[in-house]
C-alpha cells in the first residue's frame, strides 16, 4: 500500500477527495431528470398496494436495498429485504400475492437477477426495477422502471460502485419521503416506530412522565415569608406555587423573587406570599410533549413550569433539569 506524505502528493489526494464529492453530488442532482411518470407510477403502485414492498438485489445494491427497507419500515411502509442469491434457494417464500417487488441493480444484467426476475413475474407480482441501464434485461422485464443512471463512478477506474449506489440510496429516500406525504405520516406515527433512544423520547415523552417525581411545593397567598423560603428550600426546585384553598394555581414565587425582595425591603416581618408572587406563571398541562415544554422554557428563558390540569388545578413542577436528565436538551 502506498504511503502519502505532505507535499505535492497530498495536493493530489485532496483533489481526488474533492472530485469524488463533486461526482457523487452530480449523481444525486442528475436524479431530478428521472422524477417522471414512471416514478409517479411506482409511488402509486406502492401506495395502493395492500401488501408489502419486497426489495431485492445483489452485491452493493443489496446493501442499499437493506437500507431502503429500514427507511420504509420506519416511515410507515411495510417492507422486507430478500437477497437475490438466497431468493432462488427458498427465500422466494417471502413474497405474498399482493406484495410489490423492487429489484435494485446498476447493470440490470447480473446472473442472479436474470434467474430471479422470471420467477417473480410467474408469481404475478408487480415488478419495479431500480436500474442504472434502461436497455438492460431488468429494465426490459420490469413493469415500472426507476432510472438511477449515472455518468460515471467516482472510482478512478470507473468500476467500484460509488456514484451509482449513492443515486440508488437517494432514490430510495425520495420514495420513502413521498410515501410519507401520501400516507399522511405524522410525528406521532413516527414515534410509534422509534420508541427508543433520545429520538423516541423527543417524540413520545410527555410532561406527565416527568413532573410526578418532583416535590409539589405550594404555599397560600397568606403564607409568611419564612414559610415561603422553607418550602422553596425543601423542594430543591427553586420555586413554589401559590394556590388557593381549592388548589387552583394563583401564582409562582421563585428564589429569584425572594432575593430581589430582600434587596429592596428593609422590614420583612410582615411580608406575605401575596406581596411577592408572580400572578402570571407559565404553565403546561400533563399531556404536553416534553419537547414542546422545552420550547416554552427557552422562549421565556425560565427554569420551571407549573403543571396544571384543564381546570387550572396545580399538579406539580416541571424543571429544566428533568429535560436535561432525559436527554431532551
Identify which of 225, 229, 228 has the alpha carbon closest to the alpha carbon of residue 270: 225
Mean pLDDT over the full length of the chain = 93
Q: Which residue has the higher pLDDT, 140 or 328?
A: 140
pLDDT of residue 197: 65
Which segments are annotated as binding site for Zn(2+)?
83
- Could you identify the residue written with the cell 429569584? 256
* Domain covering 8-185 assigned CATH 3.40.50.10490 in the classification: yes
Provide the sign of the torsion angle of the four alpha carbons 313, 314, 320, 323, taken in this order: negative
Q: Per DSSP, which regions of the chain are E strands?
A: 53-57, 79-83, 100-105, 126-131, 144-147, 218-219, 239-243, 249-254, 283-284, 304-308, 314-319
Give per-residue pLDDT as tens, 9-39: 688 889 999 999 999 999 999 999 999 999 9
Q: Per DSSP, which regions of 76-151 are E strands?
A: 79-83, 100-105, 126-131, 144-147
Q: How far apart are CA 115 and CA 84, in angstroms?
A: 9
| 294-302 mean pLDDT | 95
* 8-185 matches 207-325 in fold: no
pLDDT of residue 198: 66
| 303-312 mean pLDDT | 96
Q: How far apart are CA 247 and CA 152, in angstroms?
A: 71
Quote the distance between the C-alpha of residue 200 and its chain's center: 8
- Give the CATH class of 207-325: alpha beta
Which segments are annotated as binding site?
83
pLDDT of residue 315: 98
Identify which of 193, 225, 228 has the alpha carbon closest to the alpha carbon of residue 76: 193
Q: Which residue has the higher pLDDT, 200 or 112?
A: 112
State the burial class of residue 48 (Cβ atoms within 10 Å of its Cβ: 0-12, 13-18, 19+): exposed
Give per-residue pLDDT as tens, 82-100: 999 999 898 999 999 999 9
pLDDT band at 204 (very low <50, low <70, confident <90, very high): confident
Which residues touch 27 (CB under 8 Å, ≥6 apart)?
A: 150, 151, 163, 164, 166, 167
DSSP state of 34: G
Give per-residue pLDDT as tens, 127-155: 999 999 999 999 999 999 999 999 999 99
pLDDT band at 296 (very low <50, low <70, confident <90, very high): very high
Give the pairing of strands 53-57 and 100-105. Answer: parallel
Give per-residue pLDDT as tens, 56-68: 999 999 999 999 9
Cell of 104: 435494485
Q: How far apart are CA 141 and CA 86, in angstroms?
A: 20
pLDDT band at 203 (very low <50, low <70, confident <90, very high): confident
- Domain segments of the chain: what residues? 8-185, 207-325
Identify which of 72, 124, 116 has the alpha carbon closest to the alpha carbon of residue 97: 124
Query: Is residue 2 pLDDT above 70, yes or no?
Result: no
Amino acid at each position: 500500500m502506498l504511503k502519502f506524505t505532505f507535499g505535492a502528493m497530498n495536493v493530489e489526494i485532496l483533489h481526488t477527495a474533492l472530485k469524488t464529492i463533486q461526482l457523487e453530488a452530480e449523481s444525486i442532482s442528475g436524479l431530478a431528470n428521472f422524477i417522471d411518470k414512471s416514478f409517479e407510477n411506482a409511488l402509486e403502485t406502492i401506495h395502493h398496494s395492500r401488501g408489502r414492498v419486497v426489495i431485492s438485489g445483489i452485491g452493493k445494491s443489496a446493501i442499499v436495498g437493506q437500507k431502503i427497507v429500514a427507511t420504509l419500515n420506519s416511515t410507515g411502509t411495510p417492507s422486507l429485504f430478500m437477497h437475490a442469491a438466497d431468493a432462488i434457494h427458498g427465500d422466494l417464500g417471502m413474497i405474498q400475492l399482493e406484495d410489490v417487488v423492487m429489484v435494485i441493480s446498476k447493470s440490470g444484467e447480473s446472473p442472479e437477477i436474470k434467474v430471479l426476475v422470471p420467477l417473480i413475474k410467474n408469481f404475478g407480482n408487480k415488478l419495479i426495477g431500480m436500474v442504472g441501464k434502461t436497455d438492460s434485461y431488468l429494465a426490459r422485464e420490469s413493469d415500472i422502471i426507476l432510472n438511477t443512471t449515472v455518468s460515471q463512478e467516482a472510482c478512478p477506474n470507473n468500476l467500484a460502485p460509488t456514484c451509482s449506489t449513492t443515486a440508488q440510496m437517494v432514490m430510495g429516500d425520495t420514495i420513502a419521503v413521498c410515501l410519507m406525504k401520501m400516507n399522511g405520516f405524522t410525528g406521532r406515527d413516527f414515534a410509534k416506530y422509534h420508541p427508543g433512544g433520545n429520538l423516541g423520547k423527543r417524540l413520545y415523552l410527555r410532561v406527565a412522565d416527568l413532573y410526578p417525581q418532583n416535590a409539589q411545593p405550594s404555599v397560600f397567598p397568606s403564607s409568611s415569608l419564612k414559610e415561603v423560603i422553607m418550602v422553596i428550600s425543601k423542594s430543591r426546585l427553586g420555586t413554589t406555587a401559590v394556590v388557593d384553598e381549592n388548589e387552583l394555581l394563583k401564582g409562582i414565587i421563585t428564589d429569584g423573587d425572594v432575593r430581589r425582595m430582600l434587596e429592596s425591603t428593609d422590614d420583612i416581618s410582615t411580608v406575605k406570599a401575596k406581596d411577592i408572587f408572580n400572578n402570571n406563571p407559565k404553565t403546561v398541562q400533563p399531556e404536553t410533549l416534553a419537547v414542546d415544554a422545552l420550547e416554552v422554557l427557552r422562549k421565556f428563558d425560565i427554569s420551571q413550569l407549573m403543571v396544571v390540569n384543564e381546570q387550572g388545578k396545580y399538579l406539580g413542577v416541571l424543571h429544566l433539569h428533568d429535560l436535561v436528565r432525559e436527554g431532551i436538551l
